[in-house]
Structure 1
Amino acid sequence: MNKPSIGRLTYMHPAFGEVFYLRMLLCHQKGSTSFEDLMTVNNSIRSTYREACLAMGLLGDDKEWFTTMEEAAATATSAQLRTLFSHILQFYDVANPLKLWKQCWKLMSDDIPIRVASSLRISRVYVNSEELEGYVLYELQILLYQYSKTVSDFGLPRIPPHLLDDLQNRLIMEEKNYDRETLLAEKSILESKLNDKQLMIYNLVISSNSTRKQELIFVYCHGGTGKTFLWKAITTAFRADGKIVLTVASSGIASLLLPTGRTAHSRFKIPIDLTDESMCNIKKKMQMASLHKKTELIIWDEVPMNDRKCLETLDRTLRDIYDTPKIPFGGLTFILGGDFRQTLPVKKKMRKT
């Protein structure tokens, strides 16, 4: 007496041809007792296993390739899946490569954040969906080069320009390394707690970013009126959308109150000895310059404590980086905050005659 048993079918690569389609039939044909039964569809015996799969509708809309990728994902690494996908594109007749890509690209992306974090020597990194897809496209492009093909030859999306430069730029990744889901939840809470005047400034800044219109804002009020809370609300809103905000203050103590705050001299490489022609120590091809090009907003708290030449130096530098000599701060939205009443009077040392 035969006892019922549970078996496991070995994974088959599409390169095995008919054996691959035989395995597919074994997974879908029920009650078959012979190979002829497997190949019989609608009371008609098909000449090949592939024809039987086609008659059953298993091959329509590239189902066999999606099934192949899905089954391989259970045991294969992301790198192996990318190699498999490149083989499918090159050697097999895929009806709609773009649709197959949209269904499968996330299966091939698991190792990307780890590789980016490793290259930057940080513990972890958050890579948004657009960057993740672009990086997988780049890896696929490398595999297709050996066949003298590109991703564009198969109708796949183009690799975003400057993608690799951004992912290999430690400064940019540090400023985007936030859990956006957590920030989205925090954004709504902070927004609901803003008073009328804070909300007016908040809406102005958000609107300027959505309309791509530069705003130069100075928030003038004394300590304890909620400037720091406003900075946090604006910063959270921008970072929740994956945008870069640089928050600086004039002193180290004041910078500790800002979200990931830095001193202005540290962040912008402002020289100690300033003149009317000083420039920040930032060259156009430096990673710092790339960071500024990706920045959407700069918040500078306690700005009255700085020499006016600090702002003028940064202004000249940003105009140079953005190649906009006639637009203040290169067209970047700027928020300054502080209280002139907290600034001590300064009297120049009188020389003895």
Structure 2
Amino acid sequence: MKKLLEELTGLHGPCGNEQPVSKWIKDRVTPVADDVRVDALGNVFATKKGSKPGPHLIVTAHMDEVGFIAKKIEENGLIRFEKLGGNDDRLLLTQKVQLRTKKGMLTGVIGSISAHYAKFDDAAKVRNHRNLYIDIGAKSKEHAMELGVEIGTPITWKPNMEYLGDESTGRFVGKAFDDRAGCAVIITMLEELVDTEFSGSVTAIFTVQEEVGLRGAQVAARQVEADVAIALDTTAVSDTPEETMDQSLTLGGGTGIKVLDFSLISHPAVRDTLVHLAEEKNISHQKEVFPGIGTDGGAMSLANHGIPTGVLSIPSRYAHSPVEVIDMGDLQATKDLVKAFVLSLEEETSFPFFE
């Protein structure tokens, strides 16, 4: 999955501006699905039918990434910006970004004062993003506009995926693993299901605008009548030394089987099935209780008459930054478990709230 993940994270697709990702995924899954379509918001639907009757499963991941959008061009060519999704102001200074204009890509830097001025500044101050700016090397407002920048130009971190340490760690650092990693898992699973017998049907939904309130998923979920759903997303681990970390979820500990977050209390039948399959297939896993996060699973569970929904989480460090870190073993475990779930479905499989 390394090459697939590298291609996905190299795409430019902040919230509401996912066009390059939506088109790339549509083209990639078309050869391995029975039906592919894109709705008005940009959500991609890819349905694959099994060879035997059975339940209809939704598997979903979001393709947007946190980013920014150009708000104003100053007379000296510096660019003011607004956030798209949950960016932490403490992480912004001196980071490389990429602007997608109609003329092409531009590299920029979120500016900061020189270290030589630090003694004249308040070292404890965290400046609000509205006080910051992006430098693209433009010499004036007119120059910036000639380069293609306009109000509304979408901005992401500069693509930068590579091994963390070296190949021996099995870990990668880069931007947009949240949630292109989930997209990579679903695409890989669809490709592996080619010429594989299974019951029922699977609709993979690659959603937009998750990072600004599960907006794409709310629209997408209403378009599919499903018996069960599984959302795939990254989740923040708690295995580093900060005092707020409780060591309850670790990088390299396997896929996270969601119990609870702020958007969803996982359906007990779905959750228990995932745990049973992980134990039966010897797939590394850990249970996740983390109220500080939400996923498209929350929107899926509330759709139509209610869809029994579970979530598989890919553990991640430094989420929503240009240096997110994931472990390939966790990614593989997530793919193995969602595929095992698909292959476990039978004609009479159901997910009642109680027996």
**What is the TM-score of this pair, normalised by structure 1?**
0.21
Structure with the larger strand share:
2
Larger Rg: 1
Whose RCO is larger (CA < 8 A, sep 6+)? 2
**What is the TM-score of this pair, normalised by structure 2?**
0.21
